[in-house]
Structure 1
Amino acid sequence: MSEDFSGVSLRDKTAIVTGSGLGAEIAVTLAKRGANVVVNYVSEGSKKRAEEVVNQINNLGREAVIVQASVSDIDQIQPIVDAALKLSKNGKIDILVHNAAQGLEANLIDTTVDFYNQHFDCNVRGPILLTKAALPHIPRGGRIVFISSAAARLGVGGQTVYAATKAANEALCRTWAKELGHTYGVTVNNVNPGPIATDQWFNSDEQFLKDMQPLIDSTPAAPRVGEVSDVAPLVAFLCTDDARWVTGSSLSASGGLIQF
């Protein structure tokens, strides 16, 4: 019997992946499945890593373009869509992965309006406006995936605003699954990682990492922090044709820290 992996192929699909960190691994994983990818970065500090990701994708025989833009800035959203349309062979944007996020820590008593706006502008308003801008170009069978967080359900101290934005991502996922299903033929899903060993994790303050260690040790799958390679393949699956009957769902990628 011949093997058939066509259902998980992303060959010649055009994908937008916002943000860095986990986004870099997602972009490369999508390319390994055959997609051409828009690689997004925000600051000069992340430009080198974004260029490395583009080179990795090109070395896989796929195409990639790099675009510096922040989804927090309304005026910088259309350039991301334009970059995808320029990359696309057929004028379509098949995959949209909302990975860009602000994730700073602050207790309720220390939360300011600016801190609130910083997180909601990036984590909630950004995906809403980017999806609205991309939607006219997403074909039937298109895929939208949010990278949410276990924080939306765990109730970790210091994450008043961040957790609220990630819970909002879950709500958007469920709402859009209904709005975009019949009319547009698009699926919308959500992946909830637990703690992941990204630059943001390693740049956390020592006390935060110490406070998180009991949670890490209690992870059912293994007593370790998650790796980007634990999560990216799950995102890639949700972008494939084999995932066509999955929409409005939240997939726990937390090693069992949260169970739905």
Structure 2
Amino acid sequence: MSQHTNGVAISGPRAVYDLAGKTAIVTGSARGIGAGIAIELGRRGANVVVNYTSPKSKQVAEKVADQVASCGSGAQSAAIQADVTSHDGHKSLVDAALRLSSASHIDILVHNAGNGDDYYLTDITEEFYQMQTDINIKAPIFLTQKVLPHMPKGGRIVIIGSCSARMGVPQQTVYAATKAANEAFARVWSTELGQSRGITVNCVNPGPVATDMYYASSQEFIDSLKPMIDSTPAEARIGEVRDIAPIVGFLCSEESRWVTGSVVSSSGGLLFF
């Protein structure tokens, strides 16, 4: 039982598995940041739905799910192929999470799936615009709609945005705009879902991170970021998945209950606003 000393609650030792009994969906979690987040939540005790889109990612997604289930916390996991832009895909993810949850709850939703392809303004097509906005904007909106009926008080929604929303990087007209929209989601949804449902919503903005998506970028783009990476205040290096996943883990925990509507920079100090 908690005691209060000078207004500070004292509740004994910190729980090791602070997400035990919770169930999470992490979209786009076969690789990179998403995989790291799925494993981090599993380490904290949460059951995790690992999501992948392409059949060629099935093996790596199942490996991530195995890592979640074998981390020693008692967490369970399932790798689910689902298109996050489709209603059928949303249903598959929700159904999988409900199967994992003993309480028929979905406690945590992490919107990580995204597309980061880059085009100069003069090269953008309507097809590219539609594809990128479907994944980065449409998918979080309508998957959240499907999850909300199953999310109890204390639920957590985390959106993985990007510092690109604020940096004005060339070739990122659509991508930067979608990531600015992700920030707006966190602010608006925290208001809509806070007092009414007891759910917190936050956006995490990584800077450059060493993932497959980063290394799939053009050499021109990678070279253009090197001076900025070298000037990173925390350390002169590119970010790593292990720098990002624990921040999301915190935002999914009870300890983050007073953090909502926030845009949390996880860029090593590259941006201070």
The TM-score with structure 2 as length reference comes to 0.92
List structure 1 segments (4+ residues) > 3 angstroms apart after TM superposition.
none
Displacement after TM superposition at 1:7 (Å): 8.9
**Equivalent residues of 2:17, 2:43 under 8 A apart:** no
**Equivalent residues of 2:23, 2:101 under 8 A apart:** yes
Displacement after TM superposition at 1:75 (Å): 2.7
Residue of structure 2 aligned with 1:80, choices 93, 101, 118: 93
Instruction: Tell me if 1:34 matches 2:48.
Output: no
Displacement after TM superposition at 1:45 (Å): 2.5
Distance 2:67 2:229 in 1: 31
1:53-68 aligned within 5 A: 53-60=64-71, 61-68=74-81
Displacement after TM superposition at 1:44 (Å): 2.1
Q: Per the alignment, in what secondary structure is the counterpart of residue 80 of structure 2? A: strand
Identity between Structure 1 and Structure 2 (%) = 54
Residue of structure 1 aligned with 2:149, choices 100, 118, 136: 136
**Equivalent residues of 1:143, 1:186 under 8 A apart:** yes
In structure 1, the residue matched to 2:184 is 171
CA RMSD of aligned residues (A): 1.5
Displacement after TM superposition at 1:141 (Å): 0.3
Q: Which moved more, 1:176-185 or 1:74-83?
A: 74-83
In structure 1, the residue matched to 2:25 is 16
1:29-72 CA distances to partner (integer Å, 9 max, x unpaired)? Answer: 00101101000001123222111111111112320011101112
1:140-192 CA distances to partner (integer Å, 9 max, x unpaired)? Answer: 00000000000001111110000000000000110000000011110000100
In structure 1, the residue matched to 2:56 is 45
**Equivalent residues of 2:158, 2:202 under 8 A apart:** yes
**Equivalent residues of 1:8, 1:237 under 8 A apart:** no
1:141-160 aligned within 5 A: 141-160=154-173
1:232-251 aligned within 5 A: 232-251=245-264
Residue of structure 2 aligned with 1:181, choices 188, 194, 203: 194
Displacement after TM superposition at 1:205 (Å): 1.9
Q: Per the alignment, in what secondary structure is the counterpart of residue 6 of structure 1? A: coil
Displacement after TM superposition at 1:231 (Å): 0.3
227 and 30 in structure 1: CA distance in 2 versus 1, 3 angstrom threshold:
same
| Bigger relative CO (Cα 8 Å, ≥ 6 apart) | 1
In structure 1, the residue matched to 2:6 is none
74 and 113 in structure 1: CA distance in 2 versus 1, 3 angstrom threshold:
farther
Distance 1:173 1:195 in 2: 21
Q: Per the alignment, in what secondary structure is the counterpart of residue 114 of structure 1? A: helix
**Equivalent residues of 2:36, 2:245 under 8 A apart:** yes
126 and 248 in structure 1: CA distance in 2 versus 1, 3 angstrom threshold:
same
Displacement after TM superposition at 1:73 (Å): 2.3
Q: Per the alignment, in what secondary structure is the counterpart of residue 214 of structure 2? A: helix
Q: Per the alignment, in what secondary structure is the counterpart of residue 191 of structure 1? A: strand
Instruction: Tell me if 1:6 matches 2:19.
Output: no
**Equivalent residues of 1:8, 1:240 under 8 A apart:** no
**Equivalent residues of 2:239, 2:267 under 8 A apart:** yes
Q: What amino acid is aligned across from residue 215 of structure 1 in structure 2?
A: M
Q: Per the alignment, in what secondary structure is the counterpart of residue 27 of structure 1? A: helix
Instruction: Tell me if 1:208 matches 2:221.
Output: yes
Q: Unmatched 5+ residue regions in structure 2? A: 1-9
Distance 1:19 1:33 in 2: 20
